[in-house]
Structure 1
């Protein structure tokens, strides 16, 4: 199933429809401020496992990340943020960044790395933010499986390729081709893991 949701003013009725699917353990494809991604409610373990199967990865090694609504939402899932780290997050979020942080007890075990860290996003995308706000907790943020990222900018192609594998494809317009920039801040000073859509200059 594919539904069109307005990228600037997401229709509340359609957002509720998406959230009902997520609460029922469903898997969706949704837009972010970078590429389209696979998502589910992070507290629906079977749905998380289903996404890992789709991607052909072991949940314990997958280094999964998820989308929060805003910084105050994010702070529930990260252990005590130092002031300098919080300031940095405030500067870059919402935006095309994934920050690796020390995971709090609220993060489901399946989403934690061996180091007890987690990747968290706050994308600058009204559809993704509306879904998370209506759901009341984060959704998984996983890239679509496969090599050809350019195929995953068009929701119509995504529907053709993944429509039978997921419960819903959200059409929020043409997506980007470059994933988020990943920054690890668990050591206290930021470390660039992957340069993506978000600009990053290391400050000495």
Structure 2
């Protein structure tokens, strides 16, 4: 497999290149892409073969998969989650797009798609036009899971050239969106109604409470 390597700019992603990425996703490809925090690996949420490939790349054998979805906005989240508390929806509307992952109770649709036993799903709407434009053109969310680094100091891979070295021939396409952050998103658990920060990351939830 030859890995495509393309450059995109967050401020104004080239629509032709976005279409190129979407074409790869529609054909069941796995991509690596920038977000507003760390680089992510993903695929179309409806392509089970691509999801299985990501599990292999990440060494995941369990059915308790911690994948999150990247959405363009909040308009489609009712398809993938059970009914939200009004307070949770208001909080998400204020905090997103932004560096947060909201853990919500998933609808029955999600475990079937992921071939997983998880009853929750993470939702991300990153403040980065590249993944959002991809999702908007694809017309459904993509999986997001982090790219970890082998370095003893850096937890996540931040340099797209080094990511290419590591994953060349293993994924279908890598997007160079500039250097990524080494700080992941703040994870907020809303499954019990009240917002509970379970991992401190780049986002400060107190600004929106």
**TM-score normalised over the length of structure 2:** 0.90
1:63, 1:111 within 8 Å by CA — same for their partners in 2? no
Q: Hey, what does 2:37 align to over in structure 1?
A: 34
1:188 pairs, out of 185, 188, 193, with 193
Q: Hey, what does 2:12 align to over in structure 1?
A: 9
- C-alpha change, 1:110 and 1:16, in structure 2 (3 Å) is same
Partners of 1:203 and 1:7 in 2: how far apart? 25
Partners of 2:14 and 2:20 in 1: how far apart? 10
Matched, 1:96 2:93: no
With 128-137 and 3-12 compared, the bigger mean Cα shift is at 3-12
1:26, 1:167 within 8 Å by CA — same for their partners in 2? yes
- C-alpha change, 1:140 and 1:15, in structure 2 (3 Å) is same
Aligned length: 204
Q: Hey, what does 1:51 align to over in structure 2?
A: 54
Q: Hey, what does 2:170 align to over in structure 1?
A: 165
Query: RMSD in angstroms over aligned alpha carbons?
Result: 2.1
Partners of 1:84 and 1:132 in 2: how far apart? 26
Q: Note the residue ranges of structure 1 that are not aligned, 5 or more in a row.
A: none
Alignment of 1:104-183 (within 5 A): 104-111=107-114, 114=117, 116-148=119-151, 149=154, 152-183=157-188
1:15, 1:131 within 8 Å by CA — same for their partners in 2? yes
2:63, 2:118 within 8 Å by CA — same for their partners in 1? no
Matched, 1:77 2:80: yes
**TM-score normalised over the length of structure 1:** 0.93
1:63, 1:112 within 8 Å by CA — same for their partners in 2? no
SS in 1 for 2:75: helix
- C-alpha change, 1:119 and 1:112, in structure 2 (3 Å) is farther
2:91, 2:208 within 8 Å by CA — same for their partners in 1? no
Partners of 1:113 and 1:101 in 2: how far apart? 16
With 119-128 and 55-64 compared, the bigger mean Cα shift is at 55-64
Q: CA deviation at 1:106?
A: 3.6
Q: CA deviation at 1:111?
A: 3.4
SS in 2 for 1:72: coil
SS in 2 for 1:182: strand
Q: CA deviation at 1:90?
A: 0.7
